[in-house]
Amino acid sequence: MIGKSSLRLAKIEFFDSSAEHWSPEVGQREQLILRNLSQRIREQTEFSDIILDVGCGTGILFPFFQERKFIGLDFSLRMLERAQQHRSRNLVGLVAADAHAFPFKDASFGHIVFLSVIPHFDDRVKVFHESHRILKSAGSLSVVHFHPAARINEIHSKAGGPIAHDYLPDIKELGEAISDNGFTVEEFQEDDCYLLFARKCR
């Protein structure tokens, strides 16, 4: 059996090696999802808040952060190198780090967004616990995938390698895990896509 640390290193290597040709499809449907997401984030945050984009990859969300400062975080240096090509005037910085142990002070962010990244975490509970720590009082988070869980899991299974078993739970199960770590789930849906919004409550 592969240990967690070895599996994590294998995932980093996988995404590093994929970065050069990584081009997630962002068609009209995906752009609409991201525009609606950015609008929701603006409504949930103050102008002075900083947004954390966890698992930012090559930076597909960056163009949608028009009115808030943000930080992009990823554990793949190669992905971050690609993300630098999409620099925005609101980008505070790019950070190479692991979401299981965020390198940030308590109450640093107004919102955390997890786009297409939740299945790749070894310990989601630890990530949500860390998210609670670095969010300011009444801060919020969002979880977004362009497809429902069953489709995401199928994609990972077919991809094979270190992400073959990276599993996205159904939205209600994920909502329960988030609620158990000091958040109130305000909205969720899983029809043609996977969306969840939650707010820090303690």
With cut-offs at 50, 70 and 90, classify the pLDDT of residue 1: very low
- pLDDT for position 2: 53
pLDDT tens, residue by residue, 72-96: 999 999 999 999 987 688 999 999 9
Q: List C-alpha distances in Å: 55 to 134, 137, 186.
A: 16, 23, 23
Q: Which two tokens stand for residue 175?
A: 């909502």
pLDDT tens, residue by residue, 11-35: 999 999 999 888 776 899 999 999 9
- pLDDT for position 81: 94
With cut-offs at 50, 70 and 90, classify the pLDDT of residue 67: confident
CATH 3.90.650.10 describes domain 4-19+27-200 = no
Q: Please check the confidence at residue 139 and state whether its pLDDT lies above 90.
A: yes
The residue-averaged pLDDT of 150-156 equals: 97
Q: Please check the confidence at residue 61 and state whether its pLDDT lies above 80.
A: yes
Share of the chain above pLDDT 90, in %: 88
With cut-offs at 50, 70 and 90, classify the pLDDT of residue 169: very high
Share of the chain above pLDDT 70, in %: 98
What DSSP letter does each residue of the chain carry, written as one string?
A: ---HHHHHHHHHHHHHHHGGG------HHHHHHHHHHHHHHHHHS-TT-EEEEET-TTTTTGGG-SSSEEEEEES-HHHHHHHGGG--TTEEEEEE--GGG--S-TT-EEEEEEES-GGG-S-HHHHHHHHHHHEEEEEEEEEEESS-HHHHHHHHHHH-GGGTT-----HHHHHHHHHTTTEEEEEEEESSSEEEEEEE--
Task: Report the mean per-residue pLDDT for the chain.
Answer: 94
In what order do the strands lie in the sheet containing 183-190?
91-96, 69-74, 50-54, 109-115, 135-145, 194-200, 183-190
- pLDDT for position 153: 98
Domains of the chain by residue range: 4-19+27-200
